[in-house]
């Protein structure tokens, strides 16, 4: 969900989910200990923090003064897994949640009202978790989008099947004005919104794998200047490095949440 919603839809730089429907609009981390999470990501990614409007359990991460992501300290209270989750903008949270159930997916939480909008936490039919948001996006959301601080990839059993599921739920390639475009390139599905690549879907994940890093899941990537430095900092602050290449590293934070740091370059 968006942790920092504007109090009034009259603010001139507020964007509605209705105008960017189907596109990723936020990323959020469920956490057991907000203070420890702030310390870890501050050391690894250099983030600063500010309170969120949803309450004491929520924080907004800032990179160079711009919102990057949210933390929700509700994992223990709500008995939820510690994980990064992408949220997609929708025209109607209730309609999208109903479509998920109709297509053998799961509605885990919601839709619930979080003025000025509605949110839900869902899973696709292969078990990958994602969220939806209907309503105003946070103030200066276009800066977040243009800076591209985060990028998401779905690792799933069958990219083509997943694209059909998400397309039907989120109105991708629906021919409606402003809808996201879906392309098949090099064996993967590429999602574009307003011409920009905003997500990718890759085949190969194993549904019954004991390791959650191998099972179908949405992977959140953060753009950084120095991948090696982030990997070292993660290990020094209680995390681990799951894999590392020339341009990116897959890391696990102190609490077990997996994410990727990617060298800052064009997608």
Alpha-carbon dihedral sign for residues 233, 238, 239, 241: positive
When mean pLDDT is compared over 121-135, 173-187, 195-209, the highest value belongs to 121-135
pLDDT at 246: 78
Tokens 């956490």 found at: 31
Question: Which of 142-146, 189-193, 240-244 is least confident?
Answer: 142-146
pLDDT at 170: 95
Contact 121, 181 (CB under 8 A): no
Mean pLDDT taken over the chain = 84
Residue-wise pLDDT for 50-68, tens only, equals: 887 766 778 889 888 888 8
Average of per-residue pLDDT across 15-42: 87
SS3 180: coil
Tokens 């390639």 found at: 173
Question: Which of 47-61, 152-166, 173-187, 233-247 is least confident?
Answer: 47-61
Which domains occur in the chain, in start order?
17-263 (3.10.180.10)
Question: What global pTM score does this model have?
Answer: 0.88
Enumerate long-range contacts of 103-111, CB under 8 Å, 24 or more apart.
103/165, 103/168, 103/169, 105/165, 105/169, 109/78
Question: What are the angstrom distances between the C-alpha of 58 and each of 43, 54, 205, 215?
Answer: 19, 6, 31, 28
When mean pLDDT is compared over 45-59, 103-117, 221-235, the highest value belongs to 221-235
């Amino acid at each position: 969900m968006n942790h920092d919603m504007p109090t009034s839809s009259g603010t001139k730089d507020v964007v509605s989910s209705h105008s960017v429907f189907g596109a990723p609009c936020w990323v959020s981390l469920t956490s057991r200990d907000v203070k420890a999470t702030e310390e870890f990501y501050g050391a690894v990614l250099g983030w600063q923090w500010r309170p969120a409007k949803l309450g004491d359990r929520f924080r907004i991460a800032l990179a160079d003064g711009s919102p990057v992501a949210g933390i929700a300290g509700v994992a223990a209270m709500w008995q939820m897994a510690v994980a990064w989750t992408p949220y997609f903008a929708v025209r109607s949270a209730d309609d999208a949640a109903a479509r998920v159930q109709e297509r053998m997916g799961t509605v885990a939480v919601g839709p619930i009202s979080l003025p000025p909008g509605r949110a839900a936490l869902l899973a696709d039919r292969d078990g990958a978790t994602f969220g939806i948001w209907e309503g105003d996006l946070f103030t200066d959301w276009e800066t977040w989008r243009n800076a591209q601080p985060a990028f998401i990839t779905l690792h799933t059993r069958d990219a083509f099947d997943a694209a059909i599921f998400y397309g039907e739920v989120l109105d991708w390639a629906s021919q409606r004005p402003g809808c996201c475009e879906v392309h098949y390139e090099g064996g993967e599905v590429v999602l574009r919104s307003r011409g920009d690549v905003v997500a990718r879907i890759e085949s190969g994940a194993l549904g019954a794998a004991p390791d959650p890093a191998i099972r179908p899941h949405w992977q959140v990537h953060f753009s950084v200047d120095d991948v090696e430095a982030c990997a070292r900092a993660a290990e020094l602050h209680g995390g681990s490095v799951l894999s590392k290449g020339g341009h990116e590293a897959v890391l696990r934070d102190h609490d077990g949440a997996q994410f990727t740091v990617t060298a800052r370059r064009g997608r």
